[in-house]
Amino acid sequence: MAGCGVIKINGGTVIRALVLAAAVCCVASAASAQTDYPTRPIRLVVPFAAGGGTDALSRVLADAVSRDLGKGIVVENVGGAGGTIGVNQVARADPDGYTLLCATPSITINPYLQKHATYNPIRDFAPVIQATVSPAVLVVNKDSPVKSVQDVIDLAKARELQYGTAGMGSFSHISTQLFATMTNTKMTHIPYRGTNPALIDLVAGRLQLQIENAPGILAQVKDGELKAIAVGTSKKSAILPDLPTIAETVPGYEASSWFGILVPANTPKPIIDKLNASFNKALNDPDIQKKLTELGVERVGGTPEQFGDYLKAKVKEMQELAKAANLQPQ
């Protein structure tokens, strides 16, 4: 081992000297690896199908951070099971900074809905940064007679409506289920392998509504393929300022999505800090901020600790929701 020579010492101290020398070399090697990071391309796992809002946002940030770090960030879509398959995969990855996860609200609720969600969102991951926040948006087919939140409620009480989502436990699933619960209506959940496949059926008229985060539906709304009815934030959103809030009709309703970066637990802090600095730099870039606005999200940024506190609060909210709704893993 280079740089780890052995001095002849009498007795058992030879073994102790060898162990100490090896330990010093290993520490030096690990420190060097963290200082030089990254030395190869980084994998960014998006736990949903390509083409959705999370995918688009991931690619904008990955491109900017790649340029700053000097190494490529490869976006990999690992869809299915409301995001659980991709999340489980990252939870089991080596904590070396070369596997990142695009985290969304689904990571906090899936453990209460799916038996194969074997991860713990706090124990199995380390926070890097909360990148953005965006409103939920209630949308219907462009030819739907629905014009208001009350129209949706009246229609849902007259007949059972079908809504599509990116899967069990996804943001759209929880947001729509919350709406159904608070309005005492019954709706049929149709899970897909991603947001985009669900929206295709909504545009085609095979589904009646969807409550989705703004990045996932903004393009279709602007193109006139979908009709936006209201936003899920407690106050009007700067993203869609002309829309009323769902809470104006359903007091207390609130649903907003967030997007953050996580790494496997035990990833060295110097690596986390370097990633955090690079993502913050990207979020502060005026060109990136313009692209984020076009995607329908607002930048957040901040420290790993701030995102960690936010994530813990969201996990607690989901625990309370799961208990109140008597949700059982399936």
Q: How much is the pLDDT for 1?
A: 45
Q: How much is the pLDDT for 279?
A: 98
> Could you report how far apart the first and last alpha carbons of the chain are, in Å?
52
The CA-based angle 125-311-36, given to 5 degrees, is: 40
User: Of 209, 60, 211, whose CA–CA distance to 134 is shortest?
Assistant: 211
β-strands 161-165, 73-77 pairing: unpaired
Give the largest Cα separation in the chain, rounded. 91
Q: How much is the pLDDT for 14?
A: 56
Q: How much is the pLDDT for 4?
A: 46
Structure-token match 């995001």, residue found? 83
Q: How much is the pLDDT for 299?
A: 92
Contacts made by residues 149-156, CB under 8 angstroms, sequence distance 24+: 149/229, 149/230, 149/244, 149/246, 149/248, 149/249, 149/250, 150/249, 151/229, 152/209, 152/229, 153/183, 153/185, 153/249, 153/250, 155/208, 156/180, 156/183, 156/185, 156/186, 156/187
β-strands 187-191, 161-165 pairing: parallel
Total-model pTM: 0.74
Q: Residue 314: helix, strand or coil by DSSP? A: helix
Whole-number Å distance between alpha carbons of 231 and 216: 13
330 residues of the chain, pLDDT tens digit each: 444 444 444 555 555 655 555 555 444 444 555 679 999 999 999 998 888 788 999 999 999 999 999 999 999 999 888 789 999 999 999 999 999 999 998 899 888 888 888 999 999 999 999 999 899 999 999 999 999 999 999 999 999 999 999 887 778 888 998 899 899 998 999 999 888 899 999 999 999 999 998 888 988 999 999 999 999 988 899 889 999 999 999 998 988 889 999 999 999 999 999 999 999 999 999 999 999 988 889 899 999 999 999 999 889 888 877 776 677 777
